[in-house]
Structure formats: C-alpha cells, structure tokens
C-alpha cells in the first residue's frame, strides 16, 4: 500500500502532465518499478503514463535503454552520466515526452566509500529540452532509501513538467 502523501504527489504529476499533453516513461533500477507503481496507482493514469522500464542489471540498461556499456564501465551504474543516459534512453525507446530515471545503492550492502549506501541519482529528460539530474544521499534502511527515491523522482518529474510547459 502506498502512503497517501505519495499518492498525492503522483496525482499532482499526472495532473501537470495531463494539462501539458505530456506522456511519461520511467526507467528504474534501485526502485524496481516503484515510481511506475505510484503513478499507475492513480485511476485514469493511462492517459499520461506511457511505459516503464525496470532495468536492474547493467545488461538491461544497455539492451532496453541503449545506455552504452562504456559509460557504465567508466562511471558505474550509480552515476550522473548513467542516470541521464537512462532518462534519455527511456525517451528514445518510447512515445513519452517526459522520462524519469532512478539509479542508486539501496543497501544494506553494495556500498563503498565513493558510492555509499543511500546514494541515488535521479534524472529527468523532456523531449525537445534538456536533461536535469540530482544527487541524493538518503539515510535509513533499504525501504527508506527506495521510498525517498520515489519521492525525489516524482518531485523532479513535477518540476520538469512545469518548466517549458
């Protein structure tokens, strides 16, 4: 069950996109489809939500979104360049006008000094416009990091829907 505040945030994103004629695609790694789930939990979301990609592995990022293997090798999957490439790839592989991506280290393992547990990159790309990205370091356990990542992704989607619209 999704929290009421998350559903309100998702409803706001859908309403903004609806008034601007934008369709949404998601490209998710550490959230495993939770952004798409939040958006599609809202009745009537099918007129805005176009598709979602869950690209948990590097191979999926490459095959489904066209993220270059060399980019992942150079920067790692949890990085700004990969988050941006994921969002841009979701646009290229969909009919959406706005795409959001999430990649991070949700924990409890898998972190390092350079990329600690809780590090998340969120990016949003809008067709005919630029790509925005944000770095976050969320506290808490795996569930808390994933929940905070969904909130950050929806907030970035809302900002990008408002801009240029």
pLDDT value, residue 134 = 98
Q: What is the pLDDT of residue 164?
A: 57
Q: Are 128 and 92 in contact (CB under 8 A)?
A: no
Tokens standing for 50? 């176009």
Could you give the CA distance from residue 165 to residue 161 in angstroms, rounded to a whole number? 7
Write the pLDDT tens digit of every residue in 56-81: 999 999 999 999 999 999 999 999 99
Please compute the mean of the pLDDT values over residues 153-162 and round it to a whole number. Answer: 97
- The reported pLDDT for the residue numbered 3 is 75
- Check whether 1 has a pLDDT greater than 80: no
Say how far apart CA 67 and CA 69 lie, in whole Å.
Answer: 6
- Topology at the third CATH level for domain 4-162: Maf protein (3.90.950)
Task: Give the rounded percent of residues in the chain with a pLDDT score beyond 70.
Answer: 97
């Amino acid at each position: 069950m999704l929290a009421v505040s998350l559903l309100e945030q998702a409803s706001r994103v859908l309403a903004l996109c609806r008034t601007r004629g934008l369709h949404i695609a998601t490209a998710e790694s550490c959230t495993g489809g939770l952004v798409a789930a939040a958006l599609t939990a809202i009745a009537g979301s099918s007129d805005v939500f176009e598709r979602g990609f869950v690209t948990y592995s590097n191979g999926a990022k490459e095959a489904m979104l066209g993220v270059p293997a060399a980019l992942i090798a150079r920067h790692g999957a949890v990085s700004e360049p990969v988050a941006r490439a994921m969002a841009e790839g979701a646009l290229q592989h969909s009919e959406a006008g706005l795409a959001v991506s999430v990649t991070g280290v949700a924990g409890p393992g898998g972190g390092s000094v350079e990329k600690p547990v809780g590090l998340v990159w969120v990016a949003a790309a809008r067709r005919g416009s630029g790509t925005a990205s944000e770095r976050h370091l969320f506290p808490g356990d795996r569930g808390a990091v994933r929940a905070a990542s969904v909130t950050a992704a929806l907030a970035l989607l809302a900002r990008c829907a408002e801009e240029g619209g």
